[in-house]
Amino acid sequence: VEFLYCDLASMKSIRQFVRQFRAKNCPLHVLVNNAGVMLVPERKTEDGFEEHFGLNYLGHFLLTNLLLDTLKQSGTHSHNARIVTVSSATHYVGKLHLNDLQSRCSYSPHGAYAQSKLALVLFTYRLQHLLTANGSHVTANVVDPGVVNTELYKHVFWVVKVVKWMTAWLFFKTPEEGASTTIYAAVSSEVEGAGGCYLYNEERTKSADIAYDEELQRRLWTESCKMVGISDEGSRLP
């Protein structure tokens, strides 16, 4: 195991990480996009993005795009490289505000978090469409880990924290249990060659109806490329 530092809230850090990784000339068979914050107070990343959207979504969008060439070179017909993105059931209530992705008009921690998780599902479906169109041996799937007992809940209201502390053993998954579907998507032979899936409890399930809107997927992709400064036709390090 080798550690390389990457701050998903910093476009500069992401680009630096990719340069360091590429310099090693290693193959890349699995990329798991799993960083995130939840219900944080209104604040911005160093690049000026609203934190939920900038870290949860844009950071992973840029990282994945900059690593796509390596993933494509690493995948084969019999063993596809895999991109696994962790979303949340919260995406079902999310709304994508294309004219206000930074939540400047009206900030709600819950709304901003749900939007970032919906964006990850839309991104995955669009990514798989592009990978398939290019004949790439890479699959992209999105995972709902369920309600997991982690420090992700540190910004919730204190009453919720008390309830969580009292009931976590009954209603919450352990981190190990929460990781099971992500691991399944990353290594299981059952999903070899299958992309564009929404997975929950190691099974394919239906995501929010809006996530299947191909026009919305395309528009979000195009806008995301503009925001992180990459070409809509393909991504290259400067």
Annotated catalytic residue 113:
yes
Does residue 63 contact residue 8 with C-beta atoms inside 8 Å?
A: yes
Does residue 64 contact residue 35 with C-beta atoms inside 8 Å?
A: no
Say whether pLDDT at 165 is over 60: no
| H/E run at residue 215 | helix 214-228
Say whether pLDDT at 114 is over 60: yes
CATH number among 3.30.200.20, 1.10.1270.20, 1.10.3720.10, 3.40.50.720, domain 11-228: 3.40.50.720
- Spans of all domains in the chain: 11-228
Does residue 38 contact residue 153 with C-beta atoms inside 8 Å?
A: yes
**pLDDT for 35:** 86
Query: Mean of the per-residue pLDDT values for the chain?
Result: 88
- Picking from 91, 113, 117, 112, the residue whose alpha carbon sits closest to that of residue 102 is 112
Q: Please write the tens of the pLDDT for every residue from 41-51.
A: 899 999 999 99
CB contact set of 63 (below 8 Å; sequence gap of 6+): 6, 8, 14, 17, 18, 31, 33
Query: Which of 57, 92, 113, 184 is an active site residue?
Result: 113
**pLDDT for 209:** 97
Say whether pLDDT at 161 is over 50: no
Ranking 7-11, 146-150, 221-225 by mean pLDDT, the lowest is 146-150
- Does the reported pTM lie above 0.85? yes
Q: Which residues pair with 234 in a beta bridge?
A: 231
Say whether pLDDT at 205 is over 50: yes
**pLDDT for 39:** 77
**pLDDT for 38:** 81
Q: Please write the tens of the pLDDT for every residue from 64-100.
A: 999 999 999 999 999 999 999 999 999 999 999 999 9
Mean pLDDT of 187-210: 96
**pLDDT for 40:** 84
Query: Residue 179 — very low, low, confident or very high, per pLDDT cuts 50/70/90?
Result: confident
